[in-house]
Amino acid sequence: MTSPVAHNDVYTDFQGLSELRSRVRNNSEAALREVAGQFEALFIQMMLKSMRDAGLGEGILDSEHTKTYQAMFDKQISIDLSKRQGLGMAEMMVRQLSRAGGGNGSNDPELAPQSPTFQALVRPAAAFAAPAHSRGTSAVNTDWSADSPQAFVTELWPHAARTAHKLGVAPEALIAQAALETGWGKHVMSRPDGHSSFNFFGIKADARWRGERVTSETIEFRDGLMRKERASFRAYSSLAEGFADYADFLQSNPRYREALNNAGNAAGFAQALVEAGYATDPEYANKIKEIMNGKQLRTTITEIKESGSEPLS
* Catalytic positions: 220, 245
DSSP per-residue string spanning 117-182? HHHHHHHHHHHHHS-GGGS-TTSTTTT---SSHHHHHHHHHHHHHHHHHHHTS-HHHHHHHHHHHH
User: Which residues, at least 6 apart from 112, have a Cβ–Cβ distance to it below 8 Å?
Assistant: 28, 106, 118
Helix (H, G, I), strand (E, B) or coil at 19: helix
Q: DSSP characters for 105-121?
A: SSSSGGGSTTSHHHHHH
Distance CA 93, CA 182 (A): 39
How far apart are the C-alpha atoms of 67 and 106, rounded to whole Å? 43
Rounded (5°) CA angle 140-211-142: 15
C-alpha 60/C-alpha 56 separation (Å) is 12
Conformation bin of residue 219: beta by default, left when phi > 0, alpha when psi is -120 to 50? beta
Cα 60 → chain centroid? 22
User: How many CB atoms are closer than 10 A to CB 241?
Assistant: 15
Identify the burial level of 166 via C-beta atoms within 10 angstroms of its C-beta, where 0-12 means exposed, 13-18 middle and 19 or more buried: middle
Collapsing DSSP to helix, strand or coil, 292 comes out as: helix
